[in-house]
Amino acid sequence: MLQSPPPFTTEELRLPLASQPPRHAQLQQNVLTKIALGGVANMTAASITNPIDVIKVRLQLQSLATAQPNAVAAQAETGYLGFSHGLKTILREEGAMGLAKGMQATLIREGSYGALRFGLYDVVKDFYEEKMFPSAANAKITPLYIKLLAGATSGALGSALANPMDLVKVRMQGDRTGARYQNSFVVACRDIYRHDGLIKGFYRGVGATTLRAVVLTASQLPSYDHMKATLLNSPSLGMEEGFQVHMIASMFAGLVAATASSPVDVLKTKIMNECSKTAACPQQFQNSSQLLRRTFMNVLRTDGVRGFFKGWLPNWFRLGPHTIISLMIYEELRAAVGINPI
């Protein structure tokens, strides 16, 4: 007896990539997996760029003694003429381990803050696109304003959780002699808790930290996302999803993020180091918004507009490679577990 052929073959069931359901329709993909992959990618990048971060923090603290003398600022004021001089000075005075200061806090921070802002980015973007701006859901490329909103939201959510680790990292990196914290994460946490308490101690500067995270994530991930979409949707370039596109887009994102976040990064670093000596901060400066305004005026009065870009070069040296490494690893990890690209 002749058998009738099946109505369609297995090959016909395989849809081309272009006809697969769009990213914003794939809400069933595991959000926790995305968060975990974002943490791995950011921790890997941070472990490589931490030495540059140490130099950046030291440079940003150079003028702090003028505004509020204290132990950390006094160390920084005797410091560095620039990035290369800072590198040589740290190696000469503290050895290679001086460039590893704050590494423990850095990795814990990236495992929480970095994980959340990466892992939640396209989840939040899907929400905005489907629930708040449904008219944009059928656009060939997701509008930039939705990407900016998604970056700002995921950055703010991640920073609120990670502020304690961010503060410990900055304090340890600014401890030039290592006498106070003994290069120990546990000692630093205990010291901050003993002198400033839990909330006022570990959540000091949370306003500036959140502002920086909003600016950073709203400039980094959307610029990467939009640049990549532009490259892939330009027929004249003939580019496909892969290493070349990821490299170009992440290099662009690193430059944009470093420039946009530099002013708030300076404010965050200074706020987190103010009143870091034994004496508690004056009560009138415990409020986060007051601290932010006061520090902004101190920087403007002491260094002018250029003061907000102090440490821009090491910030770019750190954030550029960090952005490239983290985003490229994140894309590869997503592909390895079957999750669509950003």
DSSP 133: -
Evaluate if residue 99 carries a pLDDT over 60.
Answer: yes
Looking at 18-62, list the stretches that DSSP marks H as alpha helix, in order from N- to C-terminal side: 31-60
pLDDT single digits (tens) 58-93? 887 775 544 444 444 444 445 677 888 889 998 998
pLDDT given for residue 59 in this prediction = 81
Instruction: For residue 36, name the pLDDT band (cuts at 50, 70, 90).
Output: very high
Name the percent of the chain in helix, strand, coil, to the closest 5.
75, 0, 25
Contact 204, 168 (CB under 8 A): no
Vertex 91: Cα angle to 53 and 67 (nearest 5): 55
pLDDT given for residue 181 in this prediction = 81
pLDDT given for residue 276 in this prediction = 53
pLDDT given for residue 204 in this prediction = 81
pLDDT single digits (tens) 169-228? 888 887 777 778 877 888 889 998 988 888 888 888 788 788 888 999 999 999 999 999
Evaluate if residue 46 carries a pLDDT over 80.
Answer: yes
Contact 261, 240 (CB under 8 A): no
Instruction: Match 């030291």 to its residue by tokens.
Output: 58
CA distance 200 to 11: 62
For 170-182, the three-class secondary structure string (H helix, E strand, C coil) is HHHHHCCCCCCCC
Evaluate if residue 249 carries a pLDDT over 50.
Answer: yes
pLDDT given for residue 5 in this prediction = 53
Closest CA to 333 of 36, 26, 27: 36
Amino acid at site 236: S
Closest CA to 172 of 262, 75, 63: 75
Whole-number average pLDDT of the chain: 80
pLDDT given for residue 279 in this prediction = 44
pTM for the full predicted model: 0.74
Q: Is residue 62 classed as helix, strand or coil in its secondary structure?
A: coil
